[in-house]
Structure 1
Amino acid sequence: MKSYFQTGNNAIFFIITAGVMLASFVLIAVFTGFQHETKKFKTMVVTIVLVLLFQFIVIDPIRFIVLSIDAATWPKKQIVNYRSDMSKEKYSHLDYLRTRLKSLKSQLMITIEHRNEKLNEKYSHIMKDLKLYGTYFLLLLMVVVVHQDPLLYYNTNAVRTLLSHNTSSTLGLKEIRYMDQVYDFVELTLIKGFNTSQTLDTAWLQIPQMKRLGVIRLRQLRHIDNIGAYDPQWDCSNSMPEWSTPFTRLHYEDKYWRIYEPWTPLRHTPSLDDGLLLRFNHYGHDMDYPELAGYMALLSTGPHNSLKVLGFLKGYSWLDHRNTSAVFIDFTMFNADANIFTVCTLLVENTNFGMQLTRASVQSTKLLESLDQMSHLKIIVMLLYLIIVIQFCRSLAVKLWYNRSAIRKAWNKVDVVIFVLNIMLLALIVLREREVAKLLQLLKESTTRDYLDFQRPTRLYLLINIIMGFLVCITTLRLWKVLQFASVFSVFTKTLYMAWPAVASTALIIIIFLMGLGMAVAIINGNNSEYFQKLLKCIIACLCFAFGFSSEVHPRDMFHGGKALGIVLYLVLVFIIAVVLMNVFAALIFSYFENAEQDRKETAGRSRINFLQFLRLEYAHTLALCGCRYFRRKYRARGRTVRENIAWAMYRQELVRSKSSSIVLEKKPSDEELRFQYRRRIEMLLGLSAILTVQVELIERLMLGDKNGNLPSSSDSEDSDLPEMYRKSKTSKV
């Protein structure tokens, strides 16, 4: 404070002014106002933070660029000569002694082990990275925690259960056995289940808090007489009702009810959003089905008109057993109490053997996240995460700006990937908000025949979760590099580097065995076991069984090709893969661990400090201010003199050493270690001697000198060892 306040009056003036201003703000906030509602208060806080960030990120760089251009274009003609300020505080000999004493105490802590500058520089960089990446990792985990909502799981599970199984008034999706039951399911479960009072109310009978948005879309995919093909060709031709050809376009088609729409294929205008978000396949039991294909039929909001549409489709055989491969039933529900959108996609597959296979896909998302609906904790976490991302980007930009060749390093490439993922995350959030705003505007202006497609914002929500998962994984990987100061991480990294050829070879052998066994099990038992139905699923099931996850796969699943062959397959899976190869894999890594640990012990020297010792010395002053001085052991006389206490402590140490030597044979230190210990003791004694000398002189000047520490002229002390600025100027009187 002395450098800022030259006199005590200035310091007192500053304290009084700051206290008056702070008290005024507190009184204004308590008695006058600032009593805003929660939504307005959150908006004000977020606005203030965003304005400050905009100031620091955009305005300040522009201002500095303009000032630098101005200074470079129109330099100053006159160079200001800086002169020393004669009004600065004068330092006395006592100030020099106090400064010298602090310096000697600090030097006493710097032993031989702390003089490895290369190691200290490495630990300094590790500490900076640990602050940055550790804070970023913790905030990223907090963002994931506040982003997840446990209600989404319960909502998804409840809706899937209610749609899949029978209730007292509805038909379950799993009970559909033939194609005509699709009409019964739509009528009982989706029309009458959402319109119990025969009005335009679309609340669900099972969960009254949920309300359907828009109308229900029925979409079917039709093959071109090749139902047995592995890659079928989907029909995309226009037809008349009852799928009759040739197609004829009538002049009143667009003026009346769209009776030809169910027999015309979907037409999508090429767009970037549809190409990125909707160009995916639905995975069924039999084959995969594209999203942007098929024939669509829309129901109505009211139950009466919906039943009319359903009767029309049934009367004109919109679903048939010959060419219909799959039927999709799409609709969206919204629960205003829980702020949850539920996007339902129900699939009914028409298989080759005449039975219907069904699947209910339910996605629960939170697409409306305004400030008034977000908790204070989530707002604080998101703002802190935004600040730490800006710091991370600044650190990366500075690193690459001053050293462009640093981009070749693998860990800097990882930093670039983290930066790109954060940019993608921000872009996806903005795109999702735009899609939701468009759908809400369409909902506001929609009619009874509009279908609201929430697939795009739902896909964006899933992509955001995936990006956040990748961020957590790659940040954990980046944090591994920072944690290399610990011996455990260092040994593990060195072990993997030494053992990667052997480990890769063993892993390749395990993969070859798993693929071969998976093919054999799929061919022999694929027709009788659900887990061996497909090749990829079979290999994954064998891998899980080999790693100990045996709750789903049972030995009886392998005995469909005969007991003898089943025993052979089971022995190969259990004994060769799960026991022999996995144990070889673990034993190989363990042997390399032993070698790496032995090398580390042999190469470790006495002159190397660990990271905690570096932190203890680097932040010694901070630890002292935090109160660590109160946890130090204090000297207690216990009724004895200092000499007696020293003799008693040495006796106890000798007694403990004699007892331990009789039990464990101690290794004698080498000559190098003895020389190192001797040098450390000598340096410590010299440091203590210098500290005692300065303390004695300081006491002498405090007791015998004046207020500035100057001794009388008769004193024997000399000032020859003092710097020039601390010597007392002697002027002769004329």
Structure 2
Amino acid sequence: MKNIFQTVNNILFFIITAGVMLASFVLIALFTGFQHETKKFKTMVVTIVLVLLFQFIIIDPIKFIVLSIDSATWPKKHIVNYRTDMTKEKYNHLDYLRTRLKSLKSQLMITIEHRNEKLNERYSHIMKDLRLYGTYFLVLLMVIIVHQDPLLYYNTNAVRTLLSYNTTSSLGLKEIRYMEQVYDFIELTLIKGFNRSRRAQDTGWLQIPQMKRLGVIRLRQLRHIDNIGAYDPRWDYSHNMPEWKKPFIRLHYEDKYWRIYEPWRPLQHTPSLEDGLLLRFNHYGHDMDYPELAGYVALLSAGPHNSLKVLRFLKRYNWMDLRNTSALFIDFTMFNVDSNIFTICTLLVENTNFGLQLTRASVQSTKLLESLDQMSHSKIIVMLLYLIIVIQFCRSLVVKLWYNRGAIKKAWNKVDVVIFILNIILLSLIVLRVWEVAKLLKMLKESTTRDYLNFQRPMRLYQLINIIMGFLVCITTLRLWKVLQFASVFSVFTKTLYMAWPAVASTALIIIIFLMGLGMAVAIINGNHNEYFQKLLKCIIACLCFAFGFSSEVHPKDMFHGGKTLGIVLYLVLVFIIAVVLMNVFAALIFSYFENAEQDRKENKGDSRINFLQFLRVEYAHALALCGCRYLRRKYRPHGRTVRENIAWAMYRQELVRSKSSSIVVEKKPSDEELRFQYRRRIELLLGLSAILTVQVELIERMMLGDKNGNLPGSSGSSDSSDSDIPDMYRKSKTSKV
């Protein structure tokens, strides 16, 4: 039986049959009650995929290990002798000629340029890497697209604005100038703003009713021992009585009644791996940095009545004072059910040496509840595709390093190992975040009116996941750089960087030295008058951005606080020396190396080298033919003339075009080596065409004059092709008659 995929008609028949069957199954599933709920359908699809992955990743390797141990321990004594199947299809001489004709047509495409085995092997590896890393990169970008939500930005911006500025019913955080106003802000904005009715469980926000507060508000202040302006302050961890009185006395009834002594005790936390990795960070304030796991904590209540009592108690006993209070953090979490957005708010009020308060509102929005019923179908499909591509990538890396241990020394294989490690870290962080959110939701279900739910840990995990995904995109882009080396642009750029890195590094170092020196001068002179020049690192970054043209925040007048003359000098150094002279030197240096690398590439370029597209055209010629490219070719049209007349007319037009172009452009005369190369290529082309015509003539002769097997009458071997050239499978079997 002939192969079903040999002719276009059979392929079309197969496609139509498969389409009809698939459409029938879909219609049966839709119109005969074979339906499921959306949540159940998603669960079924994900379960099926996970079971298949478990089968391929875990079960199959275990099965092969058991079979290999069994084969190595108890080898078979008798080797099975395989015999040829006598019932298989018989091939005749016509089949041989057809196969020979296809082979000659394929060989006609393989010219001298395609016989560089090293180049072909290199292009073959590039094609495999391009298929693997290109697919991985595209799926990773799709994961990032479905992972991001534009509502998070608008939610963050809206909440930060409502908390920072005054409204008709609340006090803005930016309006706080003195410490006494902190209590008014907590009362008006955070207590009465989140309790519109008298019910204790009503925690909806007055400004955005869809948002509900989870848990209670936490007030955490850090108290210093030495001066507040010290760069390395010592924080207070001692136990105190109300009004910060000493000595501390432990009373036997303090655990039985309302815990009025907690605001005067330092924060107690259980040392754990999660807290050490996720919460051991500092909050960056205007004056100094403040640790997260330190300070004195006071918790408000869920109802407004008890919260106001706690606030008045703190105010009466001077919980915040101008002497030792360094900073106050106000932490709470809100949840919007309609958009499934958690909003973690951290409000900072810094007590400065000059008596005024500096404030900052840190608002972070995220989606922490991502179960199957809340995920879209596109996101589920993208995540499953990403999981499959990651498994394929890990399999390719493991196979490469398993059979060649020395391959780990190559730089690009080390990059692959880094990508593999980042994917493992990403998967671990996702699982850890789901576990943290589940633990917090369980606590929310069992919490009382005075429990604080700390969503900082899942929020930090969410930020780490975004950082890992950013690094994955960056390092995968670098890995694609190596794959795209077949293109001349990437090759020239890589060679340019290799040649010019000492000069480019020296020029970059000079620019950095100028920026650091100018940044120090601008920070010393104008740091007390401008926010962007307040700190040295921030000043250097502002000067660098201004030098590259980002001048929307920094203006020339910001440098004139030390005098107009000095300001003009600093401005000229920044604009003329750094932005014009050094940057132009940097660009001109790279451009000169580009010209040299391009000239070397043109000089070393040989005619026997094919490009990547030519390699793909020959390598996947059959696939391109199946895709319909054969129908896109130009067909021969006689236009009422014979073949001889059409050839003469085409040669006349070519000669006419050549004569017109030669009068305008002076063509470079080819060298003797190029002429010999072209002559050899034409000779091989003519020989290939001659062989094709010979086979075609013999095939036509046997089809017209021979029988159904292609045997000519009166002669069993009279053909242009010798019998020794025919493979055994195409020869006619000769059996002696008994």
- TM-score, with structure 1 as normaliser: 0.97
Aligned residue pairs: how many? 727
- 1:274 aligned partner: 275
- Structure 2 counterpart of 1:517, which letter? L
Q: Secondary structure at the match of 1:447?
A: coil
- 1:665 aligned partner: 666
- 2:540 aligned partner: 539
Cα displacement (A) at 1:89: 1.4
Q: Which moved more, 1:19-28 or 1:521-530?
A: 19-28
Cα displacement (A) at 1:729: 5.0
- Structure 2 counterpart of 1:34, which letter? F
CA distance in 1, matches of 2:569, 2:15: 86
- 2:557 aligned partner: 556
Q: Which moved more, 1:723-732 or 1:704-713?
A: 723-732
Q: Where does 1:278-317 land on structure 2 (aligned, <5 Å)?
A: 278-317=279-318
- 2:112 aligned partner: 112
Q: Secondary structure at the match of 2:65?
A: helix
- 1:720 aligned partner: 722
Structure 1: 5+ residue runs without aligned partners?
A: 6-10
- 2:122 aligned partner: 122
- 1:488 aligned partner: 489
CA distance in 2, matches of 1:398, 1:362: 46
Cα displacement (A) at 1:225: 3.5
1:180 lines up with 2:183 in the alignment: no
> 1:174/1:74 Cα in 2 relative to 1: closer, same or farther (>3 Å)?
same
- 2:695 aligned partner: 694
CA distance in 1, matches of 2:20, 2:634: 43
> 1:270/1:195 Cα in 2 relative to 1: closer, same or farther (>3 Å)?
same
| Equivalent pair of 2:522/2:533 in contact (CA under 8 Å) | yes
- Structure 1 counterpart of 2:85, which letter? D
- 1:319 aligned partner: 320
- 1:449 aligned partner: 450
Q: Where does 1:150-299 land on structure 2 (aligned, <5 Å)?
A: 150-200=150-200, 201-299=202-300
CA distance in 1, matches of 2:675, 2:229: 85
CA distance in 2, matches of 1:511, 1:651: 65
Q: Secondary structure at the match of 1:600?
A: helix
> 1:18/1:550 Cα in 2 relative to 1: closer, same or farther (>3 Å)?
closer
| Equivalent pair of 1:529/1:557 in contact (CA under 8 Å) | yes
- Structure 1 counterpart of 2:726, which letter? P
**1:179-219 CA distances to partner (integer Å, 9 max, x unpaired)?**
01000000000000010112220000000000000000001
Cα displacement (A) at 1:81: 1.0
1:90 lines up with 2:93 in the alignment: no
Cα displacement (A) at 1:717: 3.3
> 1:18/1:507 Cα in 2 relative to 1: closer, same or farther (>3 Å)?
closer
CA distance in 2, matches of 1:495, 1:215: 60
- 2:625 aligned partner: 624
- Aligned-pair Cα RMSD in Å: 2.0
- 1:674 aligned partner: 675
Q: Where does 1:340-379 land on structure 2 (aligned, <5 Å)?
A: 340-379=341-380
Q: Where does 1:2-41 land on structure 2 (aligned, <5 Å)?
A: 2=2, 29-30=29-30, 32-41=32-41
Q: Which moved more, 1:562-571 or 1:695-704?
A: 562-571
Structure 2: 5+ residue runs without aligned partners?
A: 6-10
> 1:272/1:718 Cα in 2 relative to 1: closer, same or farther (>3 Å)?
closer
CA distance in 2, matches of 1:42, 1:159: 34
| Equivalent pair of 1:101/1:695 in contact (CA under 8 Å) | yes
CA distance in 1, matches of 2:228, 2:31: 78
1:434 lines up with 2:471 in the alignment: no
Cα displacement (A) at 1:29: 2.7
- 1:705 aligned partner: 706
| Equivalent pair of 1:203/1:211 in contact (CA under 8 Å) | yes
| Equivalent pair of 2:698/2:720 in contact (CA under 8 Å) | no
> 1:566/1:394 Cα in 2 relative to 1: closer, same or farther (>3 Å)?
same
| Equivalent pair of 2:220/2:296 in contact (CA under 8 Å) | yes
Cα displacement (A) at 1:26: 5.5
**1:590-620 CA distances to partner (integer Å, 9 max, x unpaired)?**
0000000000000010000000000000010
- Structure 1 counterpart of 2:653, which letter? R
Cα displacement (A) at 1:530: 1.1
- 2:655 aligned partner: 654
CA distance in 2, matches of 1:357, 1:535: 20
**1:557-597 CA distances to partner (integer Å, 9 max, x unpaired)?**
11111111111111111111111110000000000000000
- TM-score, with structure 2 as normaliser: 0.96
**1:323-354 CA distances to partner (integer Å, 9 max, x unpaired)?**
10100000000000000000000000000111
Q: Secondary structure at the match of 1:167?
A: coil
CA distance in 2, matches of 1:22, 1:89: 32
| Equivalent pair of 1:719/1:727 in contact (CA under 8 Å) | no
- Structure 2 counterpart of 1:188, which letter? L
**1:674-701 CA distances to partner (integer Å, 9 max, x unpaired)?**
0000000000000000000000000000
| Equivalent pair of 1:525/1:557 in contact (CA under 8 Å) | yes
- Structure 2 counterpart of 1:339, which letter? N
CA distance in 1, matches of 2:737, 2:251: 125
| Equivalent pair of 1:164/1:360 in contact (CA under 8 Å) | yes
CA distance in 2, matches of 1:17, 1:47: 30
| Equivalent pair of 1:123/1:614 in contact (CA under 8 Å) | yes
- 1:8 aligned partner: none
> 1:448/1:561 Cα in 2 relative to 1: closer, same or farther (>3 Å)?
same
- Structure 2 counterpart of 1:590, which letter? F
- 2:8 aligned partner: none
Cα displacement (A) at 1:229: 1.2
CA distance in 1, matches of 2:552, 2:15: 70
> 1:22/1:500 Cα in 2 relative to 1: closer, same or farther (>3 Å)?
closer
Q: Where does 1:605-620 land on structure 2 (aligned, <5 Å)?
A: 605-620=606-621
- Structure 2 counterpart of 1:52, which letter? L
Cα displacement (A) at 1:85: 1.6
- Structure 2 counterpart of 1:500, which letter? W
- Structure 2 counterpart of 1:571, which letter? L
1:71 lines up with 2:74 in the alignment: no
| Equivalent pair of 2:530/2:558 in contact (CA under 8 Å) | yes
Q: Secondary structure at the match of 2:711?
A: coil
Q: Where does 1:563-574 land on structure 2 (aligned, <5 Å)?
A: 563-574=564-575
- 2:511 aligned partner: 510
Q: Secondary structure at the match of 2:532?
A: coil
Cα displacement (A) at 1:139: 0.2
| Equivalent pair of 1:279/1:291 in contact (CA under 8 Å) | yes
> 1:473/1:23 Cα in 2 relative to 1: closer, same or farther (>3 Å)?
closer
CA distance in 1, matches of 2:192, 2:714: 112
- Structure 1 counterpart of 2:225, which letter? I
CA distance in 2, matches of 1:634, 1:410: 50
> 1:731/1:720 Cα in 2 relative to 1: closer, same or farther (>3 Å)?
farther
| Equivalent pair of 2:223/2:324 in contact (CA under 8 Å) | yes
Cα displacement (A) at 1:713: 1.7
1:42 lines up with 2:42 in the alignment: yes
Q: Secondary structure at the match of 2:422?
A: helix
Cα displacement (A) at 1:728: 3.7
**1:273-332 CA distances to partner (integer Å, 9 max, x unpaired)?**
100000000000111100000000000000000000001000111111111010000000
**1:376-427 CA distances to partner (integer Å, 9 max, x unpaired)?**
0000000000000000000000000000110010000000000000000011
CA distance in 1, matches of 2:720, 2:639: 41
| Equivalent pair of 2:96/2:726 in contact (CA under 8 Å) | no
- 1:499 aligned partner: 500
- 1:596 aligned partner: 597
CA distance in 2, matches of 1:645, 1:531: 77
| Equivalent pair of 2:143/2:382 in contact (CA under 8 Å) | yes
Q: Secondary structure at the match of 1:559?
A: helix
Cα displacement (A) at 1:24: 8.5
CA distance in 1, matches of 2:590, 2:190: 58
- 1:143 aligned partner: 143
